[in-house]
Amino acid sequence: MYLPNFRLDGQLSVVTGGTKGIGRAIALAFAESGSDIILIARNKEALLHTKKEIETLGRKALLIQADVADYEKITDQVEEVREGRFIDVWVNNAGMNIRSEAENVTEAEWNQIVSTNMKSAFFLSQFAATIMKKREKGKIINISSVGGHTALRTGVVYAMTKSALIQMTKNLAMEWGKYQINVNAIGPWYFKTSLTEELLQNEEYVDAILARTPLKRIGELKELTGSALLLASEAGSYMTGQTLFVDGGMTIYGF
C-alpha cells in the first residue's frame, strides 16, 4: 500500500539525445521499467544500436534522426511515429558545450549552444504539453547541470543555458500544473560516459573535480537513472518544479 510505483509499463517516453551517455542510460532504464521509447538523435548508426538494446529489453524503439535545433521537423516526425499514442514522458536531454573562456565566445558558438540546450528544450516541451493536456497527465524532465546552479571555470554560455532550464522548469510547472503535467529537472555533476572519457583521463582535472565533491568519486550512470525514473513514474507524481541535483554533494560544497 505504501510502496510507490516506479514502473512505466505500457507507457511511451521520448528521450532527446538518447543514444549516448545520460540520454542512453535513461532510455534503457525506462525501457527496463516497461516503457516504449522514441529516440531522437542525429547519428543513424547510434540510433540503430540503441534500438537493438531497447528491443533486447522487450520494448519497442521508434527512431527519429534529427537535430533538436530543428524542432519543427522533430514535432512532425513524432506525430508520424507515435501511432496515435499519448506521450507519457518527455525527456529533454540533448545538449552540448563549447569550453571557451568568456572573452573568446563567438556569436556562432552562442547560437549553437543556446539553440541546442535551451531553445529546443522550450519548444519541444511546448509540443509535449499540447499532447499531455488532452488527457491531463504527463511528465516532462529537463536535464540541466550543476553548472546551472554554481559557477564553472569555463563554458559560461553552457552554464547560462542550464540555469535557464532550471528557471524554465519552475515556470512551466506553474503554468501546466492545472493540467496535471509534472515538470522537473535533473542537475548532474560528472558521470562516466563516452563524452567525459577524455576529460577524466586528465588526473589534474579529476583531482580538481573531486576536491569539490564530498563523496570523492565520479558518478556511475546507474546512480543517475533512479532520479529520472522517480520523476517519470507515479512515485514522483506529487513533485513538480523541482531540480534534483545528482552530484555527489558538489552543490553543497563550501570553502
Cα–Cα distance, 140 to 216 (Å, whole number): 31
Mean pLDDT on 142-149: 93
pLDDT for 197 equals 84
Percentage of residues of the chain with pLDDT beyond 70: 99
pLDDT tens, 73-85? 999 999 999 989 9
pLDDT for 202 equals 93
Q: Which amino acids are annotated catalytic?
A: 158
Mean pLDDT on 189-212: 90
Check pLDDT > 70 for residue 22. Answer: yes
Check pLDDT > 90 for residue 254. Answer: no
Cα–Cα distance, 253 to 118 (Å, whole number): 27
Q: What share of the chain is helix, strand, coil (3-state, %, to 5)?
A: 45, 15, 35
Mean pLDDT on 74-102: 93
Check pLDDT > 80 for residue 32. Answer: yes
Mean pLDDT on 127-149: 96
pTM tops 0.85: yes
Mean pLDDT on 223-228: 97
Cβ pair 15, 62 in contact under 8 A = no
Check pLDDT > 70 for residue 255. Answer: no
Check pLDDT > 80 for residue 19. Answer: yes
pLDDT for 42 equals 96
* 247 phi, psi to nearest 5 deg: -145, 15
198 pLDDT band (50/70/90 cuts)? confident
Cβ pair 188, 247 in contact under 8 A = yes
Q: Which domains does the chain have, with CATH numbers?
A: 12-249 (3.40.50.720)
